[in-house]
Amino acid sequence: METTVKTHDGNGTTSAPAPPAELQPFLHDACVTLCAPSMAVSRPDGQITGGCDGFYHGDRRGLSFLTVLAEDVPNAPISGGPDSAGRASFRTVLRGLAEHSPDPAVTLERRRSVEPGELSETLTLHNAGLTSVRVRFTLRATSDLASMETVKSGHTVPVVAPAIEPDGLTWSDGELTARLTCTPAPDAAGHAPADAAELRYSVELGPGERWEATLSCTIEDDKGEAFPPASPRARVALASGTALTTADRGLDHWFARSRSDLAALLLADPLDENDTFLAAGAPWFLTLFGRDSIWAARMLLPLGTELAAGTLRTLARRQGAANDPSTEEQPGKILHEIRRDGLHFGDGLSVPPCYYGTVDATPLWVTLLHDAWRWGMPAEQVERLLPHAESALTWMDEHGDADGDGFLEYVDSTGRGLANQGWKDSGDAVRRRDGSLAEPPVALCEVQAYAHEAAVSAAALLRAFGLPGADRWEEWAQGLRRRFRERFWVEDADGPYPAIALGSDKKPLDALTSNIGHLLGTGLLDEEESRLVAGRLAGETLDSGFGLRTLAAGSGGFSPLGYHIGTVWPHDTAIAVQGLVRDGHFDAAESLAAGLVRASASFDGRLPELFAGHGTRTDSRPAPYPAACRPQAWAATSSVAVLQAVLGLQADAPGGRLTVRPRMAGRYLPLRASGLRLGEREFEVAVDADGAPRVTGLPEGSVTVETEAAPRER
């Protein structure tokens, strides 16, 4: 029977279908505490109560419900949230206990920490009153041992009946086992309705006294996680290696918070645990994603090349070697994602545990190798990866351009995978200006830019290491640039601009999108074309004031809360900022970067995967996209990308050169960034209030430093 809800309009009461029961859970007010591959997701008061809440390890949920409540008194949460990526604290007033004035007297504090495979909480009762109190409180817990896929889809599964033990609870399905232990042991334990369990304490506190208990939840998975945690040493190095101080405390806070979050997202390759990479984001994407991990490592190159090297090798070990239509693997192709289990989206859509359905990760891998070399990745490590780069180039030329028209395109060959296989991979992301959707195969504009840059970068690598083929790939890039100019440009009342893609009929899909920002700095555009793109990015239909909208306001299908059709993605804007700086469009770059810094303050420095695209004309702060990951790796690394753009940093370690041109640094001066790295050498950049940059820390004569003063603030 269809359920209806009452709605009212000017003509009276009507009935409309109620929303479906199974909806993706919202995250915008969640507190996420993590140390990959584990994380805890709770309400702002610390309670784990349903939806996406829980304690997870390796894409499985070990706890789905955990509340702590004092009985027979009002529980009033007064503070709560993350203290760092892996720690959070929450405080609740137990009202009416030992109060001799309007002031609160008895509080319950929860201090949470997450390590791989373990959630720990310290509960502290404190009586600051003048009289003794007795507090009876109850811990209630359940577990459904659900997969992340099930949680994300909004499906519910029955909870697992717990085994009650003297010091806690155990849940198991024969493969996954979750144990909750309490120290001291509870005074009583028992079953509660709906297969929940209750652990009860009765505590007497005199004036000024405290009482503590420790909870620990561990998860053991006989199948094992897809990727183990990075070593503590690697996490500490990423979290604490660099410091930034500027005149804009918002940028400083975003930068510091991002480093902490990135360390918590770090995972290792089980085939060589010295190689680390960044998981894409929490909670939905806490695993290896080719595109995401590559972009995140590329943005972090000014902090060192170790992460880039680990990311490159991790992906190279899994580079496609055969044609497998079921996974979309092809020789030379870089994968899209790896999961503990496959994903099933409903309506017959699903992807296998190791899935290659992406068109852009392969050229991006080649460019990351080149850029890491420029930033000082050891030559012998680069050389060992050159055969993988040549395989990737062959994939671009043969499989990536399956129909031989000279462009890289994609089509889901399985009929059940991702319909769109660029970074905007939702089903409605690629469209015409009137809102009509693309039909595959699709050739995205930014993928042609990635391919062009990869070919030029590969030519530089091949020439530097004495290998043949450099001339061929430079000619290949020239041909692609010529074809792009002939086929992708469209025009409206405001002039020419690049279309988002070519559709199945090889005609341009003429929506105006943020994708065009990815063309800048890649060499695909000439000077005039770059100027036209910069002007579009600076226009009010794309620039929201908090970053770039993914789809221009006013376009067919535009929605400020549409995943790829109107929201703002920080990494997308940061890529455009870097491209604008490379091509010399500093005013547009400065405006977009300032928008991201403004937005970061609204999210306490932890920028989410994406947020709403309403913009500063209507909103004083950006509204969250309710299901966005937070933290997300490439949103966090965007802070480093913005810093690199602000400083105008360019590296050529093989040539012994470093360039610092802070042309858009005016609002951030004075500025000091320490712990930057060029290969094995650590250096610092300081830019005084007068705009004069200084580089210190590089050995005299080892590197030629080229600097240019920042222009005086206009």
pLDDT of res. 414: 87
Q: Which residues is 611 bridged to in the sheet?
A: 568, 624
Alpha-carbon dihedral angle through residues 611, 615, 619, 625, given to the nearest 10 degrees: -10
Q: Which residues contact 129 (CB under 8 A, 6 or more apart)?
A: 97, 98, 99, 100, 105, 106, 207
pLDDT of res. 9: 34
Q: Which residues is 252 bridged to in the sheet?
A: none
Which secondary structure element, helix H or strand E, spans residue 70, and what is its range? strand 65-70
pLDDT of res. 345: 59
Q: Which residues contact 143 (CB under 8 A, 6 or more apart)?
A: 61, 62, 63, 64, 65, 159, 160, 162, 171, 178
Tokens for 184? 């001291």
56: left (phi over 0), alpha (psi -120 to 50) or beta: beta
Quick: pLDDT tens for 144-155: 999 999 999 998
On whether the CB atoms of residues 128 and 91 are closer than 8 A, the answer is no
- Rounded Cα–Cα distance for residues 438 and 410 (Å): 12
**Regarding beta strands 681-687 and 243-245, do their DSSP bridges make them parallel or antiparallel, or are they unpaired?**
unpaired
On whether the CB atoms of residues 689 and 669 are closer than 8 A, the answer is yes
The radius of gyration of the chain from alpha carbons, rounded to an integer in Å, stands at 27
- The DSSP-derived string for 226-240 is SSPBPPHHHHHHHHH
Strands (E), 576-656: 649-652
Q: Which residues of the chain have pLDDT under 50?
A: 1-19, 714
Other C-beta atoms closer than 10 Å to the C-beta of 585 total 23
- Rounded Cα–Cα distance for residues 34 and 115 (Å): 7
**Regarding beta strands 495-498 and 671-678, do their DSSP bridges make them parallel or antiparallel, or are they unpaired?**
unpaired
Tokens for 167? 């010091």
Quick: pLDDT tens for 672-690: 999 999 999 999 999 999 9
- Rounded Cα–Cα distance for residues 369 and 308 (Å): 8
- Rounded Cα–Cα distance for residues 392 and 454 (Å): 9
**Regarding beta strands 188-192 and 196-205, do their DSSP bridges make them parallel or antiparallel, or are they unpaired?**
antiparallel
- Rounded Cα–Cα distance for residues 213 and 186 (Å): 9
pLDDT of res. 277: 98
- Rounded Cα–Cα distance for residues 596 and 250 (Å): 10
Which residue from 643, 712, 688 is spatially nearest to 242, judged by alpha carbons? 643
pLDDT of res. 347: 62
On whether the CB atoms of residues 278 and 303 are closer than 8 A, the answer is no
Cis bond before residue 631 (omega within 30° of 0) = yes
pLDDT of res. 711: 80
Which residue from 332, 372, 577 is spatially nearest to 460, judged by alpha carbons? 372
pLDDT of res. 240: 87
User: pTM for the complete prediction?
Assistant: 0.95
Which residue from 459, 446, 479 is spatially nearest to 572, judged by alpha carbons? 446
**Regarding beta strands 657-660 and 704-707, do their DSSP bridges make them parallel or antiparallel, or are they unpaired?**
parallel
DSSP 20: P
- Rounded Cα–Cα distance for residues 143 and 33 (Å): 18
How many Å separate Cα 626 from the centre of its chain?
A: 15
Alpha-carbon dihedral angle through residues 547, 432, 284, 447, given to the nearest 10 degrees: -80
How far, CA to CA in Å, does 398 sit from each of 392, 394, 410, 655? 10, 6, 13, 33
Arch. (CATH architecture) of 31-221: Distorted Sandwich (2.70)
DSSP 24: P
Q: How many CA atoms lie within 13 A of 146 on its CB side?
A: 24
Arch. (CATH architecture) of 232-647: Alpha/alpha barrel (1.50)
Which secondary structure element, helix H or strand E, spans residue 677, and what is its range? strand 671-678
Which residue from 633, 693, 704 is spatially nearest to 662, judged by alpha carbons? 693
Q: Where are the alpha helices (DSSP H) in 265-317?
A: 290-299, 306-316
pLDDT of res. 348: 59
Please state the domain extents for the chain: 31-221, 232-647, 657-707
As to burial, measured by CB atoms within 10 angstroms (0-12 exposed, 13-18 middle, 19+ buried), residue 68 is buried
